[in-house]
Structure 1
Amino acid sequence: MYTDQDNVPFYIGKGCGDRWRPSKHVNGHTAIKINSIGVDNVKVYFFHENLTEEEALRQEKYWIKHFGRQDNDTGILTNQKYGRKVKHKQYPKYKRIKLFEEAAKEIHKQCLDVIESLIDMELYSDEGFHDSEEK
């Protein structure tokens, strides 16, 4: 949540990576508000951390509805939506690659564990698989 110099909330966002930083807002009503009060006068509060994506989206929607939006005359926030679901393509390419690499490493580790178990049971060696009765 962003508040102004008087601690009045004006923006609620789920955030992702460094998107929580006020300087990341360059367009829209939130950017206009930040520019009008000065980025150094924006206070950032984190209501929750380490939530699942689903819970983070639910909380974002709840707090936006709680404070209301200026654009539809229901409240004080510069938000123009009640939150949104982040789609896979919105993750930066480097993040998708990193997630893929982490998954590949985990799969590789699991494969090595299986091979090690087969070797321990004398069912596999450098020559390949063996019948359990061949020893």
Structure 2
Amino acid sequence: MSNELLKLENQLCFSLYATTRQMTKIYRPLLKELDITYPQYLALLVLWEVDKISVKAMGERLFLDSGTLTPMLKRMEEHGLIKRVRSAADERVIEVSLTKKGKEAEEKAGSIPINFYKHLNLEEEEFFQLKTILSKMMGRFGE
């Protein structure tokens, strides 16, 4: 007797995993012009919203620990996209901000979301419903 719950196609985690892999695959050529990876794109999205942010706060926004985030930020700094400096208020805190090159990348990146959405087979209402459900799930994982 087969257990329907254990079938691969019935696993929400697999659907999310496979979808994430496909989404990252779509982003790869879109990010090539900027010469950045998808995680670096996410970090830039955060920095395009704020002038300066601590590594800890960025990690919280991106759901990344410092062991993953710090090496990525170092590479971004080496490529001239960001700068990392110790906070004047608390030397234990590292603050991240954009360089001129990082700010200029925002204009180049402006078409990325539109080009990505062209690949989705979702109506606008479905897109926002999915976004709402995923945001709700992300909030629950923190509990």
Same fold (TM over 0.5): no
Bigger share in helix: 2
TM range (shorter): under 0.3
Which is higher, the Rg of structure 1 or of structure 2?
Answer: 1
TM (normalized to structure 2)? 0.24
